[in-house]
A and B are shown apart, each in its own frame.
Chain A
Amino acid sequence: MMMIFGIPAPLLFGQLLLGLINGAFYAMLALGLSIIFGMLNIINFAHGALFMMGAFAAWVLLHYLGIGYFPALILSPILIGIFGIVLERTLISQLYKLDHLYGLLLTFGLALVIQGLFRNYYGSSGMPYDIPDALQGATNLGFMYLPIYRGWVVIAALVVCFSTWAIIEKTFLGARLRAATENPAMVRAFGINVPRLITITYACGVGLAAFAGVLAAPIYSVNPDMGDNFINTVFAIVVIGGMGSILGSIITGFGLGVIEGLTKVFYPQASATVVFLVMVIVLLFLPRGLFGKTA
């Protein structure tokens, strides 16, 4: 058996893959948080709950309407995105003129409500969601067996993350977003409806979380606490990457997933804390985060 640093190669690559998959979820969630933070100046504490709702939407679509995985990958982000629009228009928008911390408190409260309701109706134990037939099985890469679904998750996440990045950095819609992040008043004075842009941004960020939720459904069981397990780590990743940085959140998300995976190989006890240790080190030397610009 091939050995790398005294570790059997399949074990090493297996953990690397798991790290990449976690990293894929970190990146998608951190990216959603970042674009929302850029436009709304709030940290969306309900992000984990909306991720969970995305997974539940896929489950509900399948069990009650017989709608399968691939349509759900589109439908669930749309449904949760619409829910996000309602939240933003009715509740979050009430707070824009106040200290941004109130937005944090509000979304924290929303997360509690959503999670509590789901726990009441569905209990805390998870519901299984099968891998779609087209993505079942595994393929032999020579150095390891790659379960196809896991490979798909990494690729889908990469595509979605970099498309989002490209839309923001390379299109005129993205230019409007960037401009509105910099100076919303002036952008309004050009005739651009910034409040609507804010709503759309929130819906897109939330939709990203829901998309991640659908991807996660076949890997983790669909349960009300599935967002919790990710979101606290994602907050640390956002601190490491620097809040509001698009590329920063993607790179930091994937990177820390991999670091976490490697830690599982070499020092498993620290695998849960390693992200936070990285955060401490970054904060010591770069209080604004790796990619952060603004105060």
Chain B
Amino acid sequence: MSASATPVALGAARPGLFGFTRAQAVGFLLMLAAIVVLPHVLYPIFLMRILTAALFACAFNLMIGYVGLLSFGHAAFYGMGAYVCAWTLKFWHLDAAAAILLGGLTGGLLGLALGYLAIRRSGIYFAMITLALAQMVYFFCLEAPFTGGEDGIQQVPRGTAFGIFPLHQDMAMYWLVAGIFIAGFLLIHRVIHSPFGQVLKAIRENEPRATSLGYRTMHYKLIAFVISTFLSGIAGATTSVVFGIATLDGVTSARSGDVVLTTLVGGLGTVFGPVVGAIVTTSMENYLAQFGSWVTVTQGAVFVVCVLAFRRGIVGEIAAKLRLSL
């Protein structure tokens, strides 16, 4: 899917802070300000849900937006990251930061294995294969003893981060989540604007040419996939620490669909789209939670509307109106 919704940026030629264009730098600073101010206004738990959903969507967006591959199985990495993090936290009493990192590594390692199988195909085929592989992970989690089956791993203590910061208070937890999100966000940005990211761009635009220039395109795509799945694992792991639970919910195909929807709503291939998408879909879920299956209906309807009439997503539309790269 060519997510080339991003128009030519006014300031694209002279990158400023962290390689952001000026508009992006303004956006980033606004986002930072919101992260600092909002927990004093809104429930930190709600905000943490948004931040983890946003990190997950940013990770997913790295594949669809910059490699052009739609993964329909990202829940596998998110959910496995959550399981491993929750398990090590509960039974090994690991440090929370280490457990989250371990969750990320689990996602990345699984991404390496499954990506190796899927990355040779593209388009619809890649989507189908990732979906089916993630379903395999789901059935594995359903049967494997360590996941706790239908119950999941419950009552996971948050413990401490880096050995010194106790996390049982929500605000402390919030700062850790915010830090992880910002680090992940910047990592993705760094990757995209590195020479590695330039090759990814070349591959997306014309793979045969990139191959003929001597790039092993499969390796590049696989590395991007591993980075994306690593961050998905981090997102899942972080969520499991926040809520003290890791369940099958995290590895379902519905979860994979969620992250697709979040990114689509915000804007595929935009820098801030996944974040805006996470705000929208998380708020929507929060509001609709009381109405049972209407959540599913609404999600489906949003999917349909976005695909038919709103393919650039919120940020993509704004960026096109303002002729900026956001």
Contact = CB atoms under 8 A, between A and B. Distances in A.
A–B contact with Cβ pairs below 8 Å: the answer is yes
Interface of A: 41-43, 91, 94-95, 98-102, 104-106, 108-117, 119-120, 232-233, 235-236, 238-239, 243, 269-270, 272-273, 276-277, 279-280, 283-284, 287
Given A101-B1, A104-B124, A276-B132, A116 B294 contact: yes
A94 B120 CA distance: 29
Given A104-B124, A109-B300, A280-B136, 7 more contacts: A101-B127, A105-B264, A113-B300, A113-B301, A232-B131, A272-B139, A280-B117
A100 B128 CA distance: 12
Nearest to B311: A102
Interface in B76-133: 117-118, 120-121, 123-125, 127-129, 131-133
A239 B128 contact: yes
Interface residues of B, number: 44
A115 B128 contact: no
A273 B296 contact: no
B140 A273 contact: yes
Contact of B123 (A100, A112, A277, A283): A100
Contact of A276 (B128, B133, B257, B297): B133
Contact of B124 (A101, A106, A112, A119): A101
Contact of B128 (A106, A238, A280): A238
Contacts of A273: 136, 139-140, 143
Contacts of B299: 109, 112, 116
A270 to B, nearest CB: 8
B117 A102 contact: no
A239 B136 contact: no
A272 B124 contact: no
B292 interface: yes
A236 B2 contact: no
Nearest to B64: A101
Interface in B300-315: 300-304, 306-308, 311
11 contacts: A101-B124, A106-B304, A113-B297, A117-B297, A232-B135, A239-B128, A239-B129, A270-B143, A276-B136, A280-B117, A287-B121
Contact of A43 (B127, B142, B311): B127
A93 B144 CA distance: 43
Contacts of B301: 109, 113
B295 interface: yes
Interface string B269-308: 0000000000000000000000011111111111110111
Given A104-B127, A112-B300, A272 B293 contact: no
Question: Which 8 pairs show the lowest CB-CB distances between chains A and B?
Answer: A109-B303, A112-B300, A276-B136, A116-B296, A116-B297, A113-B300, A119-B293, A236-B132
A137 to B, nearest CB: 35
A111 B254 CA distance: 11
Given A105-B260, A116-B293, A42 B124 contact: yes
Nearest to B129: A239
Interface of B: 1-2, 70, 72, 117-118, 120-121, 123-125, 127-129, 131-133, 135-136, 139-140, 142-143, 253, 257, 260, 264, 292-304, 306-308, 311
Contacts of A101: 1, 70, 123-124, 127
Contact of A112 (B257, B292, B308): B257
A243 B128 CA distance: 10
Given A112-B296, A112-B297, A116-B295, A280 B139 contact: no
Contacts of A284: 117
A155 B249 CA distance: 38
Contacts of B253: 232
A283 B129 contact: yes
B304 A113 contact: yes
Contacts of A113: 296-297, 300-301, 304
A86 to B, nearest CB: 14
Contacts of B143: 269-270, 272-273
B293 to A, nearest CB: 4
A288 to B, nearest CB: 8
A279 B297 contact: no
A112 B252 CA distance: 14
A106 B296 contact: no
A106 B132 CA distance: 19
Given A99-B2, A115-B296, A120-B297, A235 B264 contact: no
B132 A279 contact: yes
Contact of B293 (A120, A238, A243): A120
Contacts of B311: 98, 102
A41 B124 CA distance: 9
Given A236-B132, A243-B128, A280-B133, A112 B117 contact: no
A64 to B, nearest CB: 22
B240 to A, nearest CB: 23
B308 A106 contact: yes
A109 B306 CA distance: 10
B122 to A, nearest CB: 9
Given A109-B302, A280-B117, A232 B308 contact: no
Contacts of A111: 300
A78 B292 CA distance: 31
Contacts of A117: 293, 297
